[in-house]
Structure 1
Amino acid sequence: MSTPAPVPFGAALRFWFKLGCISFGGPAGQIAIMHRELVEQRRWISERRFLHALNYCMLLPGPEAQQLATYIGWLLHRSRGGIAAGALFVLPSLLLLIALSWVYVAFGHVGWVAGLFYGIKPAVAALVLQAVWRIGGRTLRSPARSPLLWAIALASFVAIAGLQLPFPAVVLAAAAVGALGGRWWPAQFDAGGGHAAADRHYGPALIDDDTPTPPHARFRRSRLAAVVGVGALLWLLPMAGLLAWQGREATLAQMGWFFTKAALLTFGGAYAVLPYVYQGAVEHFHWLTGPQMIDGLALGETTPGPLIMVVAFVGFLGGWTHQVLGPGALFAGAALAACVATWFTFLPSFLFILAGGPLVESTHGQLRFTAPLTAITAAVVGVIASLALFFVLHIGRPQAGGPVDGVALVLAGLAALALLRWRIGVLPVIAGCAVAGLALRLAGVA
């Protein structure tokens, strides 16, 4: 099997847009989709390089799946590739959430999509189970390094699901174990064994294990200074414009500053930062109510893109409620507020990748750096497993103490079989479950 040909920028753009449209399932499902498309099928990047980038993204605040897309796009096509990949990962979700948010505030409910949501949630649970199977199997299956990595994965599962410890603490503990284990038991943390076998199965990749770091991805202080400078301007200019236009106490300026802080606190994914967003948006600024925040989370969970895109819903309702462009332009003001929330939430993610990527590439293949990242990968398997458990319990018994929803569990089981055994694509499975959910609701079965 020959090495894939270089990827034209136009072809990459089409793929990143497609990914933004089908990236259901939260970070676990999105990472699974990227692994299947980029590592297994297209072979744009080898599994070891993919996991090396993923481990770095897991350490950062912000949506790791979107940052991973940005990283791979940057590695393939320089800064323009990274910006395009990250932006197209978010854009379809932003447009869809603006449309759904308008329906929500204009008609006062989201009942017309309740049936679709009922069917999509079991598909989301199945996608997370698929991610556990794919990433967990490849990370933990090597006999030479199974014991310690299995122990790390199990400990992280118990820490998150049972003890409810914060995700950053789990990541730091895993990294510490990896750093020590890399010195004392290097064979346990050598990423070569299991991944190399998998890579041979998929065939050579465009960015393979031994592919030299491209010139644009090598660390230079001048480049780092330029990226940081441009990033600072991209934050300062919009913020200065909002302050000059409407003042410090205006809703849009408050959103810019609030969502910047939220972006820097999202260690552990969207669920870790949602209490902070709830406290600020609902209790302090009164951009929306508590029940509306829950409805927004339901929309965020069942639309493509990262779950933190719920900030677009929060921004839209805040812009609509506070009439940021006046009573005669409710939709325009709300859509502008959604864009402001999204801009200030995701800007740091791009900077983390474009500024830190060259440093990460320089550590590829060095065990003292890769051992902690390998341990983090094992911990992430446990975290994803805990997320799968959360989804299964949530769809099986949506109300605490209520009856078990056997229909939803059957749908989740069928979706899991379709993904894992019959190898049906993600989009057909999600579409099929959505149609099934709508039909069951209309028939009064669910």
Structure 2
Amino acid sequence: MGKTTEAGASRDLGHGISFGEAFRVWLRVAVLSFGGPAGQIAVMHRILVEEKNWISESRFLHALNYCMLLPGPEAQQLATYIGWLLHRTAGGIMAGGLFILPGIIAIMALSYIYAAYGNVGFVEAVFFGLKAAVLAIVVHAVVRVGKRALRNRVMIALAAIAFVAIFFFNVPFPIIIIAAGLIGYFGARSGRPEFAAVEHGGGGKKTAAVDSQLGEELPDHVRPSVGRALRVSSVWLLLWAVPVAALLIGLGQANVFSQIALFFSKMAMVTFGGAYAVLAYVAQQAVEHYHWLEPREMLDGLGMAETTPGPLIMVLQFVGFMAAYRDPGALSPMVAATLGGLLATWVTFIPCFLWIFLGAPYIETLRGNKGLAGALSAITAAVVGVILNLSIWFGLHTLFRQTIPVRSFGLSFDMPVWGSLDIAAFVLAAAAATAIFRLNIGMLWVLAGSCAAGVALRFMGWA
């Protein structure tokens, strides 16, 4: 009876893909979602466009463009978007939820180990190796995104301005993104060819399942309406706001759980460009303002996120975990840490579902819009500059034991103390970069090799 009902529902949707089949495919996508947003998007493209032919190339890229304009992890939001197209809201929740579930479990387990044994030889050595590999991976991300985005002088200039603004003058990331988006939008509307949409490779085959379902006539669940928008907004805003308000009222604004709820709610609204782009700001606030963790611990957290499936923004769960672990109040440290990590995850990802379920119906009516494509192109170029800033920040805290803050004439950046260069970390980072750039070795092998090398160097007394 269940299979008959499921099959009937699939026929009603017009594509014949059962909810059970979609569950198995989305679970497979989630388990394979290593390698940051580029790797995760590539996995979805290979499975959904090329292998299953569930969605066409053009619709896949249109959805991706929208997700890249949103705050939050674009790969998780892309999964939610496509799941929504296939099986309405339930499909979007399933696809987006499964995408982050393996990462939630893995990051929580690693956080327990880190909190309990992080200062003990073996674990400390593993994370020493991880940081060197992460530095090489972040630099590779700059090059990878730059090759696609910086295709003319205007885009190169946008990236350079974004880097100077955020690295030397500490201009807030949201201002950079909004300015780039406006420049791209009006540049494209004026007909400037520099702001044309970035071309992507690949392609679908015959008519894809979603396109067969949608055709020229939008079905009810894809058609936008004011009533639907109000219902979606009220449900997801309540899921987001009620826990935050309850903590503020019950515990007060100075409590660590209230701070976690407020801070990561704010991050959910400004995390444009993915984890790489926003991590410098998160690290600055978590380390320098809230004193939840140290710079090396922030790098360790990113190393965890790099080695586990799911979005890199899952590092925020580790930050919330350590914040509550250090200030547990009346709770035991591990219980408080668990709740802190889950709270950070909740307020980070609930808004992601809101953005998709609220905006996707309208975005489906904007396919081919030149202004939207121009805004995306300019934002992508600016994000290259922001990621370059992040790679330098990582490099400073990975390769040097000391930095000097420079705060004068409007400048605000950290300068390395050259005599504090960590030779072992430099050698490991150079080896990881060689493996990635020259030998094209896979990310997981590089991470595993760096961890092993970190352990060897630490126990030989060289690190």
TM-score over 0.5 for the alignment?
A: yes
| Corresponding position of 1:32 | 38
CA spacing shift, 1:190–1:86, aligned 2, 3 Å: same
| Corresponding position of 1:301 | 302
Is 2:208 the partner of 1:229?
A: no
| Corresponding position of 1:434 | 451
In structure 1, what residue type is equivalent to 2:280? Y
Q: Give the SS at the match of 1:43.
A: helix
Is 2:429 the partner of 1:409?
A: yes
Aligned residues: 414
Identical positions, percent: 40
| Corresponding position of 2:383 | 380
Q: Give the SS at the match of 2:447.
A: helix
- 2:161 and 2:58 mapped to 1: Cα distance? 24
In structure 2, what residue type is equivalent to 1:340? L
Deviation at 1:243?
A: 7.8
Is 2:88 the partner of 1:87?
A: no
| Corresponding position of 1:176 | 182
Q: CA RMSD in A?
A: 3.9
Q: Give the SS at the match of 2:171.
A: coil
Q: What do residues 48-95 of structure 1 show as CA deviations (whole Å, max 9, x unaligned)? A: 655544444444444445434433443454333433343344333433
CA spacing shift, 1:209–1:179, aligned 2, 3 Å: farther
| Corresponding position of 1:363 | 366
Scaled by the length of structure 2, what TM-score is found? 0.73
CA contact 1:97–1:313 (8 Å) conserved in 2: yes
Is 2:27 the partner of 1:14?
A: yes
CA spacing shift, 1:163–1:43, aligned 2, 3 Å: farther
Q: What do residues 167-200 of structure 1 show as CA deviations (whole Å, max 9, x unaligned)? A: 22322232232223223334333327x43xx235
From 175, 193, 198, give the equivalent of 1:187.
Answer: 193
Deviation at 1:297?
A: 1.4
- 1:204 and 1:140 mapped to 2: Cα distance? 32
Q: Give the SS at the match of 2:183.
A: helix
| Corresponding position of 2:353 | 350
Deviation at 1:9?
A: 0.9
- 2:251 and 2:397 mapped to 1: Cα distance? 43
- 2:128 and 2:209 mapped to 1: Cα distance? 40
- 1:354 and 1:345 mapped to 2: Cα distance? 16
| Corresponding position of 1:425 | 442
Deviation at 1:252?
A: 4.5
In structure 1, what residue type is equivalent to 2:231? A
CA contact 1:396–1:408 (8 Å) conserved in 2: no
Is 2:132 the partner of 1:122?
A: yes
In structure 2, what residue type is equivalent to 1:178? G
Deviation at 1:306?
A: 4.8
- 1:279 and 1:407 mapped to 2: Cα distance? 29
CA spacing shift, 1:265–1:370, aligned 2, 3 Å: closer
Q: What do residues 288-325 of structure 1 show as CA deviations (whole Å, max 9, x unaligned)? A: 5xxx3445413321112555545434443454455566
- 1:160 and 1:204 mapped to 2: Cα distance? 45
In structure 2, what residue type is equivalent to 1:115? A
CA contact 1:219–1:358 (8 Å) conserved in 2: yes
Deviation at 1:407?
A: 0.9
From 269, 272, 280, give the equivalent of 1:271.
Answer: 280
Deviation at 1:425?
A: 3.2
Q: Give the SS at the match of 2:421.
A: coil
CA contact 2:136–2:429 (8 Å) conserved in 1: no
Q: Could you tell me which runs of 5 or more consecutive residues in structure 1 were left unpaired when the two chains were aligned.
A: 24-29, 283-287
Scaled by the length of structure 1, what TM-score is found? 0.76
Q: Could you tell me which runs of 5 or more consecutive residues in structure 2 were left unpaired when the two chains were aligned.
A: 1-15, 403-415
- 2:422 and 2:245 mapped to 1: Cα distance? 52
